[in-house]
A and B are shown apart, each in its own frame.
Chain A
Amino acid sequence: MVELSNKIAAMITFEELEEIIDIIKNLHGYDVSGYTRSSLKRRVTRIMELNKLDLVELKSKLINQPGFSTYLLQEITVNVTEMFRDPEFYKALKNDVFPYLATYPHIKLWSAGCSTGEEVYSLAILLKEAGLYQRSFIYGTDINTKVLEKAKRGIYSLAKVKDYSENFIKTDPKSSLSEYYTAMYNAATINNSLKKNVLFSQHSLVSDRVFNEFQLITCRNVLIYFDTNLQEKVLDLFYNSLCHLGFLCLGSKESLINYKNAAKFKVVNKKHNIYQKIG
């Protein structure tokens, strides 16, 4: 006979997912209704598997157990990231965008949906290499406070950082990545000098507003988790947060193609989805 796996026991339907979305929204004020359903369903199913919950138990915990919704929200956001993910993108940033940024006396950057901070430190290193770090300030934001704690610490697994070194080499750097962290046992700690001009704080792309004006915003592999309406809303937020001629960097599978204000941006690098606000 077929033995049903955990996965199938923890299965929920799209309709049941809507009930969970409603509970989270009505009881806890978190609105995930703009998230893509199939991805959200996977994440919720995974949490059910991990905690060995069926749908009734999940709903009961959401309603009755303090803190469970926060846990759920932390677990449903995707927090997979790496340093210098898509090295070619960072190379394009350095070659196509940094010469513009160099003309500003102060450079403000925003890494939106920064998760555990790897992208923020990658930007910091890239700026440092270009001699721009001293006059830069990077804001790293995420909805998930748990990942932000990790980002602030800036301590990563040494094995992973060694993989990131390979990414870094592909950006044609002046130095080796090992100059930017201290290795101890199995951990790599990002140098304090790279944390000086960096601030991590909570910000929800769904419900929070413009909080500063930036010369550059990166938001890579975040929009794919949002439906087209929420994508549009978040792109508006970025548009309104950029200075005139500011830059917007999206993930390798994200573009402005369906954005109503696409004409207000110039394509700086098509392959790596780097745009400049011109209108």
Chain B
Amino acid sequence: MERKILLLAGSAGGFSVILNILKALERPIQIPVIVIVHRNPKYASSIEDTLSKALLQKIKTADDKEAIADGTIYFAPAGYHLLIEPDYSFSLDISEPVQYSRPSIDVTFESAAEVYKENCTAILFSGANQDGAEGLLMIKKYGGSTFVQDPLDAEVPIMPKAAIELNAQDKILTIAEIKDYIMQLT
């Protein structure tokens, strides 16, 4: 069976939308999900802990060299880039921030693109910089499915707009449409 992956990413205004969608799920998502959000390592949160109580499925911070498992939601750790290895495991990287961000969405998207090819789906949400746009384009180039949150719908439209400028998306979706899309993966 081909391995699949769903990537959800955003920064300002995107994190809460992602959390609300995950919290509203009535059944677990079958395939692995990776959430990449910009957050300050100084306040490295216990959001995973809080969320795991509210959710029906396993949710955790991605560990170095951890094998990616179905039915699990992984968060990129604060302060590290999260990469995906060809053997479907994670590796961490603490090199320079990309687009002023570590974790950077571009970094995870770009590494997922070749590993998962057409089985990679990525959704880019609201955010305050251009991180994620080039990575999304890379996923599209490798045959994956790419979506961006409608900038009109986004609290901070810079991030989805940057992706649209590169024509990195297959489709622009409203929050409601994104919810429906994710729901059918459960």
Residue with the highest number of chain A CB atoms closer than 10 Å, among B86, B94, B115, B167 = B94
Residue with the highest number of chain A CB atoms closer than 10 Å, among B85, B91, B111, B141 = B91
- Specify which chain A residues have a CB less than 8 angstroms from the CB of B141 in the assembled complex: 8
Q: Does A240 contact B (CB under 8 A)?
A: no
4 closest A-B pairs by beta carbon, nearest first, are A38-B83, A36-B91, A38-B111, A78-B95
Q: Does B137 contact A (CB under 8 A)?
A: yes
**Distance of A127 Cα from B166 Cα, bound (Å):** 52
Asked if A224 and B134 make an inter-chain contact with CB atoms under 8 angstroms apart, the answer reads no
CB under 8 Å from chain A, chain B span 73-118: 77, 79-80, 83-86, 91-96, 107, 110-111, 114-115
- The size of the chain A interface, using a CB distance under 8 A, is 29
Asked if B91 and A228 make an inter-chain contact with CB atoms under 8 angstroms apart, the answer reads no
Q: Does B48 contact A (CB under 8 A)?
A: no
Q: Does B65 contact A (CB under 8 A)?
A: yes
Asked if A42 and B85 make an inter-chain contact with CB atoms under 8 angstroms apart, the answer reads no
A 22-43 to B, binary, CB cutoff 8 A, 1 in contact else 0: 0000000000000011110111
CB distance from A91 to the nearest CB of B (A): 15
Which of under 10, 10 to 19, 20 to 34, or 35 or more describes the interface residues of B?
20 to 34
A-B contact pairs, 12 of them (CB 8 A): A2-B137, A2-B167, A8-B138, A36-B85, A38-B91, A38-B111, A224-B80, A224-B92, A228-B65, A231-B65, A253-B63, A253-B92
Q: Does A80 contact B (CB under 8 A)?
A: yes
Identify which of A13, A14, A78, A258 contacts B93 (C-beta below 8 A): A78
Asked if B86 and A253 make an inter-chain contact with CB atoms under 8 angstroms apart, the answer reads no
Asked if B84 and A253 make an inter-chain contact with CB atoms under 8 angstroms apart, the answer reads no
Chain B residue with minimal CB distance to A81?
Answer: B94
Asked if A80 and B95 make an inter-chain contact with CB atoms under 8 angstroms apart, the answer reads yes
Q: Does A213 contact B (CB under 8 A)?
A: no
Residue with the highest number of chain B CB atoms closer than 10 Å, among A3, A36, A38, A223 = A38
Q: What is A's interface to B at a CB cutoff of 8 Å?
A: 2-3, 5, 7-8, 11, 13-14, 36-39, 41-43, 78, 80, 221, 223-225, 227-228, 231, 251-254, 258
- Specify which chain A residues have a CB less than 8 angstroms from the CB of B63 in the assembled complex: 253
CB distance from A82 to the nearest CB of B (A): 10
**Distance of A96 Cα from B179 Cα, bound (Å):** 49
- Specify which chain B residues have a CB less than 8 angstroms from the CB of A41 in the assembled complex: 111
Chain B residue with minimal CB distance to A85?
Answer: B94
CB distance from A116 to the nearest CB of B (A): 13
Asked if A42 and B91 make an inter-chain contact with CB atoms under 8 angstroms apart, the answer reads no
- Specify which chain B residues have a CB less than 8 angstroms from the CB of A38 in the assembled complex: 83-86, 91, 111, 115
Q: Does B170 contact A (CB under 8 A)?
A: no
- Specify which chain B residues have a CB less than 8 angstroms from the CB of A14 in the assembled complex: 86, 114
Asked if A224 and B94 make an inter-chain contact with CB atoms under 8 angstroms apart, the answer reads yes
Asked if B86 and A5 make an inter-chain contact with CB atoms under 8 angstroms apart, the answer reads no
